[in-house]
Structure 1
Amino acid sequence: MTEFKPVLLALPSLTPSLAVEVLPHGMTIHRIFVQADGKTHDIVIGPEAPEDHTVVKYTNTIIGRYANRVPVGTHTIEKDGIISQFTAITNESPQVSLHGGPKGFDFGIWEQLSSLSDATLFTAAEIQTISSKSPGDSSAAIFRLVSEDGDQGYTGTLLMEVLVALLPPGEKKTASAERDLGSIVIVYRAKLQDVPDGKKQVTPINLTQHWGFNLDASLQDGTETLSVLNHKVDMKASHVAELLPNFLPSGKYDSVVEADNASGAHLHLNKRIGDQFPGIGYDHYYLLSQPDDAPHRIALSKFVSDLDEVKNILGERHREPVVQLSSEKSGLAVEFDTNQAGLMFYTNNHANTKGYRKKIHGGSGVKGDGYIPGSAAFIEFHEPLSAFLYPTSNSTDTLLTSDEIYNNFVRADVVLRQVGHPGA
């Protein structure tokens, strides 16, 4: 089926350092190929066969209409005088609706636009910038999905267009002990479609890529390389969310320093993931100290042909990444930036060893030899948990009206570090 036929994005080079396979099913990042020191790595976990993403839920797929956990039931929402209701449908437990409901965007069939210029949620100036920064005919693609009014209980017909673009090495400054291998950029856009009576609407929206990284798995050196406990995380976080026993948010946030003093687990300053590993592992939401200031919403009145909000996202980075994931064993690192307020950090605690594992990671590709718990660092950038109920001072309320366009991004810069370099 075409929804499981990978769309290959690659940089125009005889020896490309970075390539990505995207599945239209769930807009899934099926593979991230990295060429480093003569070795081919695939740095995201997952099944070998694209069709098995129907069984292996939430692995490298897009998540929505609303990421993470929302209390089940009917909620009244209001923004700019526009009032609406939506009903969050149970799928994780009687109290919890997870990742948009029973059939979220991870099961949507996303259409790849035949040309970047066919996009309606990216301006002419932005398409020109994308074409210049992401060279070649196959290094960038835009995927589209329409979520109808009432889909999974959510209000309003929502048009979404998501850009996935590769940037060649040289688009960022690296330390002398690093080699830039290129970047992956995902830009999420969405707009409520007009209704016949012209009535304005409002809907909750919180999109993310639910991708899980393992920088060592392709080395196939036994159990050690199937674990990310020896990876290091450097995270510029200020607070961690307090969760209820059913993993719904309480609405409270503790400072990372106070949380770390209590458990020794949450201050991720170039910290080895396995050091003071909490309980069965990490499944925590962190607020970032200083996310990128790219706007979360674009007013429709300002969405004109010469507007270019992707120029800075795709350009050379002049700020430190908000999160870094690195491994001394492979020498690889991924440095992230985003305008989202925070991220969910999850260590694949519930991985099923009887599941599916890629051949490049030492699996057979068929069911029966899956990944072990702690085998991936899921780094999922999105707005705070149930933010329409519990807004924070440094984020949006995750509500979108008919007068604006949703605009969020994540950028992952891939680098090769010298083994033993202090930043590794």
Structure 2
Amino acid sequence: MRVFDRRGVRPVGRAGDLLISLALPSGIRATVDPRGATLVDLWVPDREGRLDDILLGHEVPGQGPRMFYGSTVGRYANRIAGAAFTLDGQAHRLAANDGPNCLHGGPEGFDARDWQVVVPDEASVTLRLVSPDGDQGFPGRLTAQVAYALSEDDAGARLDITMTATTDRATPVSLTNHAYVNLGGARDAARLRGVGDHRLSVAAARLVPVDAAAIPLAEAPVAVEGTPFDFRHPARIGDRLRVGHPQLLAVRGIDHCFCLYGAGFRQAARLEHPETGRVMAVWTDQPGLQVYSGNWLDGTHRGKDGVAYRMGDAICLEPGAWPDAPNRPDFPPAILRPGERYLHRMALVFPTPR
């Protein structure tokens, strides 16, 4: 592990000023910022062995508009309708930051906090955050940890992201990583193209339909069969985004939770970029996968190396609980209670390109 300040100049000790570099002998590497427990970059090879950063974002998280680039979002990823829920007979009012709703934990969610670095080594780092009782309206004192670990073998490389939490009072919890991925490479403005040429498969036969505010409809979930959301077999993303389906029109593209098959730690999605040969599989133990096609990237602000990001320049594959589960007893539960341990295991797996 290498620790350096935000200008890459010298080691520093305060979490708000440092970046952490994780690296493997092959050159595959990642940078983590304790601010937001953020995955700043991730360099992986193409079929010719050329390394490129596949993540959109800022060199320093928080430089531009709050887009959650690579950050750890919580205390509850996705939306809670009306910024309110009732738990064990008690009503809780949350901080609204997406119209009347609470998105990704509220206006000062976990992505906006300085996490403490607690366990570093050459290829992994663990960060911790204590969220006090009443934080953004959520009940309970929550202690959360996120661990990033790089590894590789003959089959390829992987980044394991392990999120845990404990609480002293019952509270909703769903943590995830919000990486914006473009397997073609994200640093070169001349080469950056949208993810329309990527092929996506998702292990789900149902999804959660939403209204224009991205809040689940009463009839959720519904079957993907016969819709542009059917990614049970690999399909070009661009071919699906241009279909005039009401659910695509409602949120300007894909921004939906897919209801994953099965339980336990399993592959949820596979993203392929035929031109470079890069492939990324997403593994998780959670019940849902939010697929977001970068609908609100509008070219009005610059990211890494001054590149202006446009609609569809990346895709986010965010495992977690279903949206608004605290208000939907028909959805898989997402409540953590005292004495329990929240655990979300996810991994980004990169088979050796061919």
Structure 2 counterpart SS, 1:141: strand
Letter paired with 2:259: L
Aligned equivalents of 1:162 and 1:151: distance in 2?
Answer: 19
CA contact (8 A) 1:84 1:155 kept: no
Larger of the two Rg values belongs to structure: 1
Counterparts of 1:75 and 1:234 in 2: how far apart (Å)? 33
1:205: how far off? Answer: 0.7
User: Is 1:145 aligned with 2:133?
Assistant: no
Give 3-state SS (helix, strand or coil) of 1:162's partner: strand
How far did residue 73 of structure 1 move? 4.6
Of 113, 117, 120, the match for 1:112:
117
RMSD after superposition: 2.1
Deviations 1:189-238 (A, max 9, x none): 10114xxxxxxx21111111111100113584846x42000000011112
Could you tell me which amino acid in structure 1 is paired with residue 257 of structure 2?
A: Y
Match of 1:353 among 299, 311, 323: 299
User: Mapping of 1:45-194 within 5 angstroms?
Assistant: 45-47=56-58, 49-53=59-63, 55-78=65-88, 84-93=90-99, 95-113=100-118, 115=119, 137-170=121-154, 180-193=155-168
Q: How does 1:25-424 map to 2 (within 5 A)?
A: 25-36=35-46, 37-47=48-58, 49-53=59-63, 55-78=65-88, 84-93=90-99, 95-113=100-118, 115=119, 137-170=121-154, 180-193=155-168, 201-218=169-186, 220=188, 222=190, 225-251=192-218, 252-257=220-225, 261=226, 263-277=227-241, 278-279=248-249, 280-291=252-263, 293=264, 321-359=267-305, 364=306, 369-392=307-330, 395=332, 397-418=333-354
Alpha-carbon distance, 1:264 to partner: 3.2
d(CA) in 2 for partners of 1:328, 1:4 = 38
Instruction: Tell me how far apart the structure 1 counterparts of residues 289 and 63 of structure 2 sit (CA, whole Å).
Output: 23
Q: Structure 2 unaligned runs (5+)?
A: 1-13, 242-247
What letter is aligned with 1:87? R
Structure 1 contact 237–286 (Cα < 8 Å) conserved: yes
Q: Runs of 5+ in structure 1 lacking a partner?
A: 117-136, 171-179, 194-200, 295-318, 419-424
Question: Is this contact kept in 1: 2:29–2:44, CA < 8 A?
Answer: yes
Q: Deviations over 1:373-419 (max 9, x none)?
A: 100010010111111222456x3x1101112110111111112432x
Structure 1 74/43 Cα, relative in aligned 2: closer, same or farther at 3 Å?
closer
Aligned residue type for 2:165: A
How far the C-alpha of 1:58 sits from its partner, in A, is 1.0
Contact 2:30 2:39 in 1 (8 A): yes
- The alignment partner of 1:143 has SS state of strand
Q: Does the residue aligned with 1:269 lie in a helix, a strand or coil?
A: coil
Q: 1:155 to 1:38 in 2, by over 3 A?
A: same
Aligned-partner residue type, residue 388 of structure 1? P
Judged with a 3 Å threshold, the aligned counterparts in structure 2 of structure 1 residues 349 and 73 are, in CA distance, closer, same or farther, namely closer
Q: Are the counterparts in 1 of residues 45 and 353 from structure 2 also a CA contact under 8 Å?
A: no
Aligned partners of 2:294, 2:178: CA distance in 1, in Å?
11
Retained in 2: the 8 A contact 1:290–1:322? no
Supply the AA of the counterpart residue of 1:417.
P
Structure 1 residues 73-127: Cα deviation after superposition (integer angstroms, max 9, x where no partner): 542213xxxx65422221110x2111111110000101111x36xxxxxxxxxxx
TM-score by length of 2: 0.87
What is the deviation of 1:154?
Answer: 0.6
Residue aligned with 2:209, SS: strand
Question: What is the TM-score of this pair, normalised by structure 1?
Answer: 0.73
Distance (Å, rounded) in 2 between the aligned partners of 1:348 and 1:269: 22
The whole-number CA distance in structure 1 between the counterparts of 2:15 and 2:340 is: 32
Q: Return the offset for 1:269.
A: 1.4
Distance in 1 (CA, whole Å) between partners of 2:216 and 2:63 is: 28
Letter in 2 for 1:336: V
Counterpart secondary structure, 1:216? coil
Partner Cα separation in structure 1 for residue 186 and residue 337 of structure 2: 44
- Distance in 2 (CA, whole Å) between partners of 1:187 and 1:28 is 13
SS across alignment from 2:16: helix
